Amino acid sequence: MRTLRFQKLARVVLAAIVFCLTGLALPAQAGSVRVIHEIKHDVSLPLRDMAKMVPVQKYENREIELRSHAVIKQLPGEDTAVQTETLPDVSTINLLNFDGQAADSVAPPDTEGAVGGNQYVQWVNLRYNVYDKATGALILGPVLGNAFWSGFGGTCQSSNSGDPIVLYDKAAQRWFVSQPVFSTPYMYCIAVSTSSDATGSYNRYAFATSPPSDFPDYPKWAVWPDGYYSSVNEFIGNSHDGIQACAADRASMLAGNKATLQCFNKPSPTFGILPSDLDGNTPPPAGSPNYYIGLGADTAHLNMWKFHVDWVNPANSTFTGPTAIRVPNYTLICVNGPDEIRSCIPQPSPGEKLASLPNRMMYRFAYRNFGDHESLVAAHTVKPGSGSSAVAAVRWYEIRTPQTPKVVQAGTVQHASISVWCPGIAMDKNGDIALGVSASSPAVDPSVAYVGRVPTDPQNKMESPKTVVKGTGVQQNTSNRWGDYSAMQIDPADDCTFWFTTEYIKTTGAFHWSTRINSFKFKSCQ
- pLDDT (mean) for 285-309: 98
Of 391, 322, 317, 390, the C-alpha closest to 361 is 322
pLDDT for 503 equals 99
pLDDT for 335 equals 83
Residue 339, number of CB atoms within 10 A of its CB: 13
Tens of pLDDT, residues 178-207: 999 999 999 999 999 999 999 999 999 999
Q: How much is the mean pLDDT over the chain? A: 92
pLDDT for 60 equals 59
Of 432, 420, 499, the C-alpha closest to 462 is 432
Tens of pLDDT, residues 249-283: 999 999 999 999 999 999 989 999 999 999 999 99
pLDDT for 62 equals 62
Of 91, 113, 93, 118, the C-alpha closest to 521 is 93
CA distance 179 to 177: 7
- What pTM, to 2 d.p., does this model score? 0.93
In this prediction, residue 57 has a pLDDT band, given cuts at 50, 70 and 90, of low
pLDDT for 341 equals 64
Tens of pLDDT, residues 438-487: 999 999 999 999 999 999 999 999 999 999 999 999 999 999 999 999 99
- pLDDT (mean) for 317-328: 98
- Contact between residue 361 and residue 273 where contact means Cβ atoms under 8 Å apart: yes
List C-alpha distances in Å: 263 to 142, 271, 286. Answer: 33, 16, 21
- pLDDT (mean) for 301-306: 98
Domains of the chain by start residue, with CATH? 32-61+70-280+288-522 (2.130.10.10)
- Contact between residue 448 and residue 439 where contact means Cβ atoms under 8 Å apart: yes
SS3 assignment, position 21 = helix
pLDDT for 8 equals 36
pLDDT for 338 equals 59
Of 459, 453, 495, the C-alpha closest to 369 is 495
* pLDDT exceeds 70 at position 375: yes
SS3 assignment, position 185 = coil
List C-alpha distances in Å: 371 to 160, 278, 365, 374, 390. Answer: 42, 14, 19, 7, 40
* pLDDT exceeds 70 at position 114: yes
Of 428, 431, 361, 347, the C-alpha closest to 394 is 361
List C-alpha distances in Å: 358 to 346, 350, 518. Answer: 15, 24, 25
- pLDDT (mean) for 233-253: 95
DSSP designation for 300: T
CA distance 180 to 325: 31
List CB contacts of 14: < 8 A, sequence separation 6 or more.
none
In this prediction, residue 150 has a pLDDT band, given cuts at 50, 70 and 90, of very high
- Contact between residue 101 and residue 122 where contact means Cβ atoms under 8 Å apart: yes
Tens of pLDDT, residues 64-80: 667 666 679 999 999 99
pLDDT for 19 equals 36
- The one-letter amino acid code at 209 reads T
List C-alpha distances in Å: 171 to 123, 168, 224, 274. Answer: 22, 9, 10, 21
